[in-house]
Amino acid sequence: MRYALHEIFATLQGEGRNTGRPCVFVRFAGCNLACPWCDTDFSAKMALELDELLEAIAQFEPKSVIFTGGEPLIQPELEPLARALKERGYWLGIETNGTLEPDPSLRECLDYIATSPKTTAPLAIRRAHEVRLVTASDVTAAWCRAVREAVEAEDYYLSPCDCNGGLQVGPAIQLLGELNADAPSPPWRLSLQTHKLAGIP
């Protein structure tokens, strides 16, 4: 079994609750969606065996690993990798678009699940630590509330869309005001891609 990957790199987490956490990002190749505003390159650049991938991760200093993509849950044999990392003492998170539900055996290995559902895709995940919605032009307050009803989480965020030549913070702030008018608990919060603002790769 070889894992299809785009890149492996260490940096600070730039968004959500874990902003500032030093992490090794394992970006898997491929996605089951094609969002028109997506700026992530998840083309396949390498294919590594389990032992090779574990060795590549161990070359970096952080003891936190985040599976990302693309969509990491379309990658076969993710659970053996996750279990091997946990056995080596890593904190383990995943960033998913929510179209797939992690297997129970994978869930028990994950310390943190961040999901970013999309308006045009089916929503399968029902429980996460963090919901992070990108405020593209088709995102409405009604849809955000529906996602919140469907996905139980500890934190709910809006992330301004990086599209049309810049970060669309204004629309995100306006939507935050609408969503928080009824004082939900926990409140909706803003999640900026601070790594981009700070020039961190």
Token match 């009824």: residue?
182
Q: Is 195 marked active-site?
A: yes
Dist CA 98 CA 89 (whole Å): 26
Identify the active-site residue in 39, 49, 77, 108: 39
Q: Look up 38 and say whether it is catalytic.
A: yes
Q: Which of 11, 38, 162, 163 is catalytic?
A: 38
* Catalytic site includes residue 135: no
**Among this protein's residues, is 25 annotated catalytic?**
yes
68 catalytic? Reply is: no
Helix then strand count (H, E) for the chain reads 6, 11
Strands (E), the chain: 2-12, 22-28, 46-49, 64-68, 91-96, 112-115, 130-135, 155-160, 162-163, 166-167, 188-190
- Is 15 considered catalytic here? no
Q: Which helix (H) or strand (E) holds 114?
A: strand 112-115
Q: How far is CA 70 from CA 19, 26, 91, 166, in A?
A: 20, 11, 21, 22
Name the catalytic one among 15, 71, 95, 130.
Answer: 95
Residue 67 annotated among the catalytic residues of the structure: no
Which of 40, 108, 138, 154 is catalytic? The answer is 40
Cα separation of 55 and 46, whole Å? 14
Is 161 among the residues known to form the active site? no
Q: Which of 23, 35, 109, 144 is catalytic?
A: 35
Catalytic residue selected from 7, 31, 119, 163: 31
Task: Spot the catalytic one: 19, 119, 155, 195.
Answer: 195
- Distance, in Å, from the CA atom of 81 to the CA atom of 109, rounded to the nearest integer, reads 10
Relative to beta strand 46-49, strand 64-68 is unpaired
Q: How far apart are CA 199 and CA 109, in angstroms?
A: 32
Residues involved in catalysis: 25, 31, 35, 38-40, 95, 195
